[in-house]
Amino acid sequence: MTGTTGRALRLTVFIGENDTWHHRPLYSEIVHRAHAAGLAGASVFRGIEGFGASSLVHTSRLLSLSEDLPVAVVIVDTEERVRAFLPELDALVTEGLATLDACEAVRYPRDERPSGPPAAPGTEGEGP
């Protein structure tokens, strides 16, 4: 069964793991504000290697550079709702990058999922 599909906008915010907002991780503040704004969802992904405007490569392979790894916060919702959230980022992000990508979202609501494993092909309606 395929879920419902629709147009969406993906917002990806690239920041550093050590970036903060009032002594709290910036990525956490973005997620909590997205939740408070009623957006469909937000996820945080920690990178293992990367560089940004500073051109300094941060990697988890070298102990001395394993701090401030790249972090991506990904939010997907309707274009209208994502664009309405952008002013929140203006107030939070002082250094980083945000990208917007049009995408198609496939939604699988919890209510519509069948319980248990799917039946093997050709066995529907067969009893014990």
At residue 124, the pLDDT reads 53
Indicate the domain borders of the chain.
7-99
At residue 30, the pLDDT reads 98
- Two structure tokens written together for 59: 């990697």
Query: What class does CATH assign to 7-99?
Result: alpha beta
At residue 125, the pLDDT reads 52
DSSP string, 55-94: ---EESSSGGG-SS-EEEEEEEE-HHHHHHHHHHHHHH-S
Residues in the chain with pLDDT values less than 50: 1, 128
35-50: pLDDT as tens digits = 999 999 999 999 888 7
**Model pTM score:** 0.77
At residue 68, the pLDDT reads 77
Beta carbons within 10 angstroms of residue 76's beta carbon: 20
Exposure string of 80-104, with b = 16+ CB inside 10 Å and e = fewer, is: ebbeebeebbeebbeebeeeeeeee
